[in-house]
Amino acid sequence: MRITIFIFFFIPICHFGQTIADCKDRFDNYLNLKGSLNNSVIFEKDIIFLLNEKGEKEFAAYANELPLLSSFFENSNVDDQLKIFKQKGTRKFTRREADSLLMAIDDDTQLPQNNGKRPLQGIRIAIDPGHFSSTLENAKVEGKYLHFIKPGTNILDSIELVEGNLTFLTAKILKAMIEERGARVILSRPAQNYTAFSMTYNYWYKYKRTKILDSLKKINELTDEKYKKLKKLTKEKLFWAFFRDYELVARSNKINAFNPHLTVIIHYNVDEKNSPWQNASERNNTMCFIGGAFVDTDLKKINNKLHFLRLLFCKQINESEDISHLTVTAFSKNLKVNKAKLNDADYLISKGLGTEHEGVFCRNLILTRYINSPLVYGESLFQDNVIECTKLNECNYEAYGIKVPERVYMVARSYYEAIMDYFIR
Ligand SMILES: [Zn+2]
């Protein structure tokens, strides 16, 4: 009887509509890339089954459990999710289990009351400035820079763009804009050239690498063989073999600990067909990513199964689509750049899933998978476009005491407009 009462109260408040049909819709339209999960997930009239690699039923969600599971996954970390995943398996929650799980949920996803002058008051927004380098030298380690002769000149006047610097400046301006409206904001990395560990990669490599690799080996996160291999790698090689993904997970842990109502991940794109970026490109477009687009091998790791179930049960992916649609529309309008189509890039064709909103694609990236909140992963423009690269190369604008290229201000302004539209409708 108590579970009936819970469903009556809970559904209308925050998880209205979490039905088998809603989950099936998310599975078909966002999560299942080209049918590759067809043998991993089964939908029956009142049950959803997740299968293991042997094709055996490993976890079941029954229709009347979906509001509870949705709320639980949204308001818990992967350690708690793993416990429930193992305890529950394919059986139904008992009334007592459902009750105690409900009591344990501290639902912190509700939006505060709208306050006229400071409309974002009490809203928590995490911002992730993509990559970490702000200098050309550091950017060479992560391969996120452009360095070529300025278009239209034949002298030694060069374009020097570092993506991690553009993203950090954008994040600083956006932070100031939304704080002015009352939002509580964190940046996933605190300063230019700093990683999520609040230090440069050079410092980390010199002073922290050994300690981290040793501790990961001790807890069996690294095999002996892998440990020995990683210990010997140069700064550049260790970045690709280990640090890049390790630091992205640290960013998402930091963001999840803040429990944001929204996460904004800031990147600047390049034209993939212009590789190795020795010249400018005529092409330009704008796009945003949300989670989804899983393939069956993504479900081998237990953590990924848990992220998958969260995205299946909760409406975060629908909310991510809303904010991403608003963002890509603001980019397109303010920057006068066309929205990308699925066949505009090979990575979209092979790994992306289009949505019904032009310029918004599902991508199964570490951050779009690990972050437990609605999110937008913005790729506002192509830095190597013939006009953009010149404009981005000049710091000709000042906002909030920060000197930036005017295009960077316009990108921050576009995120800001989308955020205001998203929360105040
Ligand atoms: Zn990037």
Question: What secondary structure letter does DSSP report for 240?
Answer: I
Q: What is the pLDDT of residues 245-259, one digit of tens each?
A: 999 999 999 999 999
Distance 211 CA to ligand 1 centre (A): 28
Confidence of residue 17 (pLDDT cuts 50, 70, 90): low
Distance 64 CA to ligand 1 centre (A): 41
Distance 268 CA to ligand 1 centre (A): 6
DSSP, collapsed to helix, strand or coil, labels residue 32 as strand
Q: What is the pLDDT of residue 406?
A: 98
pTM of the predicted model as reported, rounded to 2 decimal places: 0.94
Distance 243 CA to ligand 1 centre (A): 16
- In terms of C-beta distances under 8 Å and separation of at least 24 residues, what long-range contacts does 199-205 make, across chains too? 200/132, 200/138, 201/132, 201/133, 201/138, 201/141, 201/142, 201/235, 201/239, 201/243, 202/138, 202/235, 204/243, 205/235, 205/238, 205/243
Distance 192 CA to ligand 1 centre (A): 15
Q: What is the pLDDT of residues 261-312, one digit of tens each?
A: 999 999 999 999 998 988 889 999 999 999 999 999 999 999 999 999 999 9
Please name the residue that has the structure tokens 């899983």: 294
**φ/ψ of residue 188, rounded to 5:** -70, -20
Distance 297 CA to ligand 1 centre (A): 24
Among 65, 76, 150, 110, residue whose Cα is nearest residue 307: 76
Q: What is the pLDDT of residues 185-214, one digit of tens each?
A: 999 999 999 999 999 999 999 999 999 999
Among 114, 116, 120, residue whose Cα is nearest residue 185: 120
Q: What is the pLDDT of residue 113?
A: 77
Q: What is the pLDDT of residues 210-268, one digit of tens each?
A: 999 999 999 999 999 999 999 999 999 999 999 999 999 999 999 999 999 999 999 99
> Please, are residues 163 and 383 in contact by the beta-carbon 8 Å criterion?
yes
Among 240, 245, 255, residue whose Cα is nearest residue 216: 245
Has residue 153 got a pLDDT over 90? no
Spatial CB neighbours of 325, under 8 Å, sequence gap ≥ 6: 288, 357, 359, 360
Distance 73 CA to ligand 1 centre (A): 29
Confidence of residue 5 (pLDDT cuts 50, 70, 90): very low
Dihedral sign computed on CA atoms, order 181, 134, 163, 265: negative
Has residue 9 got a pLDDT over 50? no
Among 356, 319, 330, residue whose Cα is nearest residue 418: 330
Q: What is the pLDDT of residue 2?
A: 34
DSSP string for residues in 284-304: --BEEEES--B-GGGGSSHHH
Confidence of residue 118 (pLDDT cuts 50, 70, 90): confident
Distance 347 CA to ligand 1 centre (A): 14
Q: May I ask the CATH architecture of the domain 124-423? A: 3-Layer(aba) Sandwich (3.40)
Distance 124 CA to ligand 1 centre (A): 24
Q: What is the pLDDT of residue 208?
A: 97
Distance 269 CA to ligand 1 centre (A): 6
Distance 401 CA to ligand 1 centre (A): 25
**φ/ψ of residue 288, rounded to 5:** -135, 145
Distance 42 CA to ligand 1 centre (A): 36
Q: Is 128 left (phi over 0), alpha (psi -120 to 50) or beta?
A: beta
Distance 219 CA to ligand 1 centre (A): 32
Confidence of residue 155 (pLDDT cuts 50, 70, 90): low
Where along the chain do its domains lie? 2-104, 124-423
Distance 131 CA to ligand 1 centre (A): 6
> How, if at all, do strands 145-149 and 158-162 pair?
antiparallel
Question: What secondary structure letter does DSSP report for 371?
Answer: -
Confidence of residue 150 (pLDDT cuts 50, 70, 90): confident
Has residue 7 got a pLDDT over 80? no
Distance 292 CA to ligand 1 centre (A): 19
Distance 130 CA to ligand 1 centre (A): 6
Distance 285 CA to ligand 1 centre (A): 14
In angstroms, rounded to a whole number, what is the distance separating the alpha carbons of residues 46 and 331? 42
Query: Taking CA 222 as the corner, what is the angle to CA 372 and CA 296, rounded to the nearest 5 degrees?
Result: 50
| Residue range 56-80: mean pLDDT, rounded | 96
> Please, are residues 390 and 150 in contact by the beta-carbon 8 Å criterion?
yes
Spatial CB neighbours of 360, under 8 Å, sequence gap ≥ 6: 287, 288, 289, 290, 321, 324, 325, 328, 354
| Residue range 146-157: mean pLDDT, rounded | 79
Distance 170 CA to ligand 1 centre (A): 13
Distance 226 CA to ligand 1 centre (A): 27
Distance 319 CA to ligand 1 centre (A): 23
Distance 146 CA to ligand 1 centre (A): 12
Distance 345 CA to ligand 1 centre (A): 15
| Residue range 85-107: mean pLDDT, rounded | 94
